[in-house]
Structure 1
């Protein structure tokens, strides 16, 4: 790292740029001037931090959506959290650049190319020039856009194995060993991955014709949990609980709800109610260990009554 590069961090303008961030990252990873912690990181060690930063972005948005006060106060946290998430991508790209694999500019190029390809209704000729020249986009509805998006993604996955299969339609997937479920990351949280698997299968026609089927499946899986427990087979019961959870995810899909999102909302409500239980019991000069479960339930229901009706 040259002194000139280090001097680049001294910024006279009021706002830093993306180039400043890339310079900062290269200095952090510099063998001579860098930070020991940053130098010790690799792709694998960054993954937990990347997931944490993504969830912190989601947390700010969720808290803003349920804010009892001014949501702008909560959303003021979003630039910092988005910056932390962006920094993860910059970090991965810096490591790759050191290994002479690719750099952050390659990431931007690949992303822009992919988004142009996936939005033919907005960029008819697959380039930014069409919009710059005033070419009007195609008028399509959201369902058509979603269907085309999935088709393009499927074609992208197929071409990773054999370029010629770009000519295939999505309906033919499976004939060459591929699946409509390909591309759902295995590293996703189980609830999010279940939602994506369910959604992809449904788009291929594997879905209940109405919400009644989803309810029936939940009742079926719950009965199988109870049956396994009645037989004393806890291992089987645990498997059936997994099936029950997946059936509930299908219900969420039928209701056009993101199960991860609605569960985060439930988690927030649970925390608020339980904090009320703790405070109410403490106000009585008691503790959770001393209180009975019926007493806790009384305070729990009182907390629910205090919530605004939805």
Structure 2
């Protein structure tokens, strides 16, 4: 049996397992000895989760837009990743205290899902397939479309109760993300119509900003308008199905 390859580059510091174990231990100690942390519950943490996620989004985008990210940007990204990880570990700790599951079960579930949904990389037992482009094998590389199709097929098998392509899309997403996710799930060909018409992402951003400006000038709420349009689109699509 061939196991997964080690990380490509050595990273300074303790092995990930050691660092994660210490993090889980610290969170457990905070829950037992810090009155503020001990008072938290899932509901109270939601606003922090949303805030930290947006801060991470901004940090990732700052690094992505920089041709050669300065150390300050990388430090910011590292810190924001840690803040989001803290939220994940804390929510898992709350479930551990309730006797449901702990962080290890969350990590194991994620690992199993990644193996299951990527059969072009992993065998059913979790070992690395021997004939893959990644390890110099002679197998034919799968197409990106094929990989996505397999991912979706396995996901559908995991949740057979979801009969609508829009099931599982959070309605609390920002309206623009809600719209993009909906069109993507619908496989709407119109989602790609503007690729040749739009010169760049920057130009598209200016057009979107102009739409928002017109909405505000007309006394309309662009967020609510788009959200309602997406909900109408979903309803109409299901009616046609």
Instruction: Please say whether Structure 1 and Structure 2 have the same fold, judged by a TM-score greater than 0.5.
Output: yes
Aligned equivalents of 1:52, 1:240: Cα separation in 2: 18
Matching residue of 2:29: 27
Aligned equivalents of 2:106, 2:223: Cα separation in 1: 42
Aligned equivalents of 2:79, 2:223: Cα separation in 1: 42
Aligned equivalents of 1:17, 1:210: Cα separation in 2: 43
Task: Report the aligned-residue RMSD.
Answer: 3.4
Aligned-residue offset at 1:72? 3.9
Correspondence 1:59-78 to 2 at 5 A? 59-67=58-66, 70-78=69-77
Structure 1 segments unaligned to the other structure (5+ residues)? 1-13, 162-176, 248-310
Given candidates 13, 17, 20, the residue that maps to 1:18 is 20
Give the 3 Å change call, closer, same or farther, for CA 46–143 of structure 1 in structure 2: same
Given candidates 135, 144, 147, the residue that maps to 2:146 is 144
Contact 1:154 1:180 in 2 (8 A): no
Deviations 1:41-91 (A, max 9, x none): 111111111121122121112222334874443122222211111111110
Give the 3 Å change call, closer, same or farther, for CA 200–24 of structure 1 in structure 2: same
Contact 1:65 1:71 in 2 (8 A): no
Aligned equivalents of 1:147, 1:52: Cα separation in 2: 33
Correspondence 1:46-65 to 2 at 5 A? 46-65=45-64
Matching residue of 2:200: none
Give the 3 Å change call, closer, same or farther, for CA 85–239 of structure 1 in structure 2: closer
Q: Secondary structure at the match of 1:77?
A: helix
Q: Secondary structure at the match of 1:100?
A: coil
Aligned equivalents of 1:210, 1:57: Cα separation in 2: 28
Deviations 1:179-234 (A, max 9, x none): 011111223222222211111012xxx3339627xx9xx9xxx8xx99xx7xxxx7
TM-score with structure 1 setting the length: 0.54
Given candidates 156, 174, 179, the residue that maps to 2:164 is 179
Aligned equivalents of 1:90, 1:209: Cα separation in 2: 36
Aligned-residue offset at 1:156? 1.9
Matching residue of 1:156: 158
Aligned equivalents of 1:209, 1:67: Cα separation in 2: 28
Give the number of the structure with larger relative contact order, counting CA–CA contacts within 8 Å between residues 6 or more apart: 2
Aligned-residue offset at 1:151? 1.9
Given candidates 151, 166, 185, the residue that maps to 1:200 is 185
Give the 3 Å change call, closer, same or farther, for CA 83–207 of structure 1 in structure 2: same
Aligned-residue offset at 1:244? 9.6
Matching residue of 1:135: 130
Aligned equivalents of 1:105, 1:48: Cα separation in 2: 25
Aligned equivalents of 2:170, 2:90: Cα separation in 1: 21
Give the 3 Å change call, closer, same or farther, for CA 209–238 of structure 1 in structure 2: closer
Contact 2:183 2:191 in 1 (8 A): no
Query: Could you say which structure has the larger radius of gyration?
Result: 1
Equivalences, count: 192
Aligned-residue offset at 1:243? 4.5
TM-score with structure 2 setting the length: 0.67
